[in-house]
Structure 1
């Protein structure tokens, strides 16, 4: 699939923008998760978990999906191809996996937000789940940095 240079640039712009947006939204989510876990202010904690649900569903999930889709379109419309170079294939596998895990992770986010909507008692939140929000969002940032590194350095090598 060969796109005109103008369309190829639009696809690349969509990919870079959505990938940066995904990173920034996860960084904001991490800060919310930290405040939700560490704060003793029950109203702040409630607001944090409600905001995390909105951030996940209306910012992070769309950016992840757009990053995945635009990455596929961009790779298919350039010399790199989707399966020709192992770094592109690796980015596809990692991005697909991260997007899938994000969708699984939204269940825990929805659970915390549901608790926040029904109660203002600080002890009502499962502490393991609060820690999970911090750890998974921090790990996601590391994964997104690795994906960025792959895109910038483009390690040599063709897939067999």
Structure 2
């Protein structure tokens, strides 16, 4: 199924916007995460944890979900397809993986935000740096795949390509 050009450009614009927004929000979250675990000031650490909780719930999680959904619509509505090229398939799997891990971590981050708001010294709380750095790495990999589009057609892609040539 191919989308009409105007709708295809609209979907692509939404996909780029949500994906770049997700990446930017993760960078902001990472800055707060580093601040939370390295700050010597309890109030600064407290503020960082509370802000991390707000960003993950109201910005990162919605953008991640939107990026997966809109990216899937985008792939299905273009000649790239969803399962025809390895780079699209790997990008989809990485995005679903990142969104899944993120959604599983939302309760932990919100708990840390609540704990920091009430703790005498929030500097004793653990950070989420491993997840922050891992999420950023996965998102950067999807950007690389989107830009460089490494060659390689899946077996499904070969079948659909040869069926179109007949």
Normalised by the length of structure 2, the TM-score is: 0.89
Supply the RMSD in Å over aligned alpha carbons.
1.1
- Structure 1 148/123 Cα, relative in aligned 2: closer, same or farther at 3 Å? closer
Aligned to 2:136: 141
Aligned to 2:163: none
Report how far residue 117 of structure 1 moved: 2.0
Cα deviations by residue, 1:112-153 (Å, 9 ceiling, x for unpaired): 11211222324542xxx31xx112111211111110111111
Aligned to 2:151: 156
Q: Secondary structure at the match of 2:3?
A: coil
Q: Distance in 1 between matches of 2:27 and 2:38?
A: 17
Q: Secondary structure at the match of 1:107?
A: helix
Aligned to 1:47: 47
Structure ID, larger Rg: 2
Q: Distance in 1 between matches of 2:104 and 2:29?
A: 16
Report how far residue 62 of structure 1 moved: 1.0
Aligned to 2:12: 12
Asked whether the equivalents of residues 42 and 123 of structure 2 are also in contact (C-alpha less than 8 Å), the reply is no
- Structure 1 114/71 Cα, relative in aligned 2: closer, same or farther at 3 Å? same
Asked whether the equivalents of residues 3 and 77 of structure 2 are also in contact (C-alpha less than 8 Å), the reply is yes
The 5 A counterparts of 1:7-156 are 7-122=7-122, 124-125=124-125, 129-130=126-127, 133-156=128-151
Q: Secondary structure at the match of 2:43?
A: helix
Cα deviations by residue, 1:68-92 (Å, 9 ceiling, x for unpaired): 1111011001101011111111111
Q: Secondary structure at the match of 2:71?
A: helix
Cα deviations by residue, 1:19-64 (Å, 9 ceiling, x for unpaired): 1111110000000001100111111111111100100011101111
Q: Distance in 2 between matches of 1:138 and 1:71?
A: 23
Q: Distance in 2 between matches of 1:58 and 1:118?
A: 21
Q: For this pair of structures, how many residues does the alignment match?
A: 155
